[in-house]
A and B are shown apart, each in its own frame.
Chain A
Amino acid sequence: MIRLERLTKAFRQRRVLGEVSLDIARGDRIALVGSNGAGKTTLIRCLLGEYTYDGIVEVDGLSPRMHRQDVLAKIGFVPQLPPPLKMPVGELINFAASMCNSVPERMEAVSARLGLEVEGIRRQPFVKLSGGQKQKLLIGIALGRDCNILVMDEPAANLDPEARQVFFGLLGERQKDVTMLLSSHRLDEVAALVNRVIELDRGAVVLDDHVADTVDMRSILSCTVRLTRREEAFEKALGEWGFSTTAEGGGLEWGGQVAGPDRLRFLGVLSRYAGLLAGINLEDNSKKAEAAQ
């Protein structure tokens, strides 16, 4: 579906991508990882036809530079940094919907599922929205249209756990017919979403590996955390994940739900307070329902 062959990109004398070759098949969900300056964003921009390059980049046999419109009609994109657009939210949605042969209502519906009601901010300049609102809107635009490739640069970085849960669900709905390229500088941010990991370092592929594909993106885990003593910072962190104290725990037991693909990230948060943990219980609700049936 996507073919990169000896893709090379240099800015004046500085080589940012050096002869990168990759074949990405339909249904691949790729974590594109690497430290800052590894070449992830440059690779994405070459794929979007925004940069000139040496080598071959093809999407379904078409070059994104020569057949820009045909290629970009297949790609939904969420950038790492939201653009500083002064246009009102409503105008941005209308423009994007017209360009992508979609309808604004579809994009607004996806945004609403992520917790962003467009009606209240329709006349507000996009640049004035909060980081999370911008991210939700851009995801709404990318997922509120027909496309068979999703390219997302740090897509969930600004989302709260609740919105992340919905976001994973939205990706899960399309995982069978969409190729995904999720860029991040931290593998744990995207690990559970993907079935292939590509690591870039100084413009070269240093790792290209398929990983176990067992996590259902729509799965929800019921979780209980028991503490040895109360600690304000830990309680605040749990609160941010939507957890609350259970009735029987005497303030030391917290319960809540974690999206399946977010489990690694959640455990990462818990690991910072390992000394306060008396017990953890994580249970997959869907597996439990299946077992009951």
Chain B
Amino acid sequence: MRDLVLAARLDISESLRARWFILYALIFGGLVVVLFMFGVTESRIMGFTGLSRLLIAYIQMCMAILPVFVLITTVRSVAGDREAGVFEYLLSLPVPLFAWFWGKSIGRFMVVFLPVFGAMILAALWGLVRGLDVPWEAVGFYGLLLVSLAWCFLGIGMLVSSLARSVDVAQGTAFMVWLVLLLFLDLILLGVMTRGQMPPETIIAISLINPMQVFRTAAMLLFDPELMLLGPAAYVILDAFGRIGYMVFSIVYPLLLGTACAAAGYGVFRRGDLP
């Protein structure tokens, strides 16, 4: 446990020094500031105003930015250290590989999750100061969704990073993974459905295994309980899971997927040549 904490701390301080982290924190912090500045809290969409409106906009932007950012920065983790020649020395110290790999994963998770979550909490606190109603249920659920999404893509990133032998290959693969998941979002799936080339069950199954779609549907669920925006697929989802059931699924499934990917990455890392 002590070794795991040490490895996590090492990765956190390494990340905090990196330029990508400054950019990352600025983007998410800046997003909240921009949303406030442009008066999103005062505007109205589908009956939503105040912080609910801001949170909806913020969470949609997170879905667009967070996965690719987490993937691109995480894949540098193992592949980058290996390519730079860091492993030969640091892994000659008596650090267990389990502690090293999972410590890095946990450290990186903290670094990618906290700015995103922190920006959301700051928005809620600022709203409180300005006398707006804070939808704590939405803040809590979106917080959990962000944990789940960040961990899922971090796990995928760690797997890609362990498999790739160079940073270039790792980043290219990560980008492809993100692109494929993006292509299988509901907008494109609906197009496929309309053309009638695939059975609806397949389309729905794909939307349920795509963590980005799961996140998107769950984010909609809070302000659109009937999932009207999603169209006919909503009936299947709500019939099969129910509202609460799907909310639980949307948190648990990406967490499990991320853990499974990270575990597979650890298996590859442990069994192969380290430097």
- Is chain B's interface secondary structure helix, strand, loop, or mixed overall? helix
**Is residue B13 within 8 Å, beta carbon to beta carbon, of the partner chain?**
yes
List the B side residues contacting A45 at CB < 8 Å: 88, 275
In the assembled complex, the CB of B83 is this many whole angstroms from the nearest CB of chain A, namely: 10
Residues of A within 8 A of B271 (CB): 52
Q: Would you call B13 and A50 a contact (CB within 8 A)? A: no
Partner of B94, one of A52, A72, A84, A138: A72
Q: Across the interface, which residues of A come within 8 angstroms of B85, CB to CB?
A: 81, 83-84
Total A-B residue contacts, Cβ distance less than 8 Å? 71
Contacts known (A50-B275, A95-B10, A99-B3); A68 close to B94, Cβ less than 8 A: yes
Could you say which residues of chain B place their CB within 8 Å of the CB of A52?
Answer: 271-273
A224 to B87, CA, bound (A): 46
How near does chain B come to A121, taking the closest CB pair, in angstroms?
Answer: 16
Residue of B nearest to A138 (CB): B89
Give the CA-CA distance A96 to B86 in the complex, in Å. Answer: 14
Query: Chain B residues near A50 (CB, 8 Å)?
Result: 87-88, 91-92, 273-275
List B residues 66-123 near A (Cβ within 8 Å): 84-97
* Residue in B closest to A52 when the chains form the complex, CB atoms: B273
- Residues of B with C-beta under 8 A to A138: 89
| Number of A residues with CB within 8 Å of any CB on chain B | 27
Residue of B whose beta carbon sits closest to that of A85: B86
Q: Mark A20-53, 1 if CB is under 8 A from B, else 0.
A: 0000000000000000000000000100101110
Q: Does chain B have a CB within 8 A of A69?
A: yes
Residue from B85, B91, B93 having most chain A Cβ neighbours under 10 A: B93
Q: How far is the CA of A35 from the CA of B92 in the complex (A)?
A: 24
Counting from the closest, the 9 A-B pairs by CB-CB distance are: A72-B94, A83-B89, A77-B92, A73-B94, A50-B274, A99-B93, A69-B94, A51-B273, A83-B86
Q: List 28 A-B contacts (CB under 8 A).
A: A48-B91, A48-B92, A50-B87, A50-B92, A50-B274, A50-B275, A52-B271, A68-B96, A72-B93, A82-B89, A83-B85, A83-B86, A83-B90, A84-B84, A84-B86, A85-B86, A85-B89, A86-B14, A87-B14, A87-B17, A91-B10, A96-B93, A98-B6, A99-B6, A99-B93, A99-B95, A100-B93, A138-B89
A residues lining the B interface (CB < 8 Å): 45, 48, 50-52, 68-70, 72-73, 75, 77, 79, 81-87, 91, 95-96, 98-100, 138
Q: 9 more A-B contacts (CB under 8 A) besides A84-B86, A86-B17, A99-B95? A: A48-B92, A50-B92, A68-B96, A72-B95, A79-B92, A83-B88, A85-B89, A85-B90, A87-B13
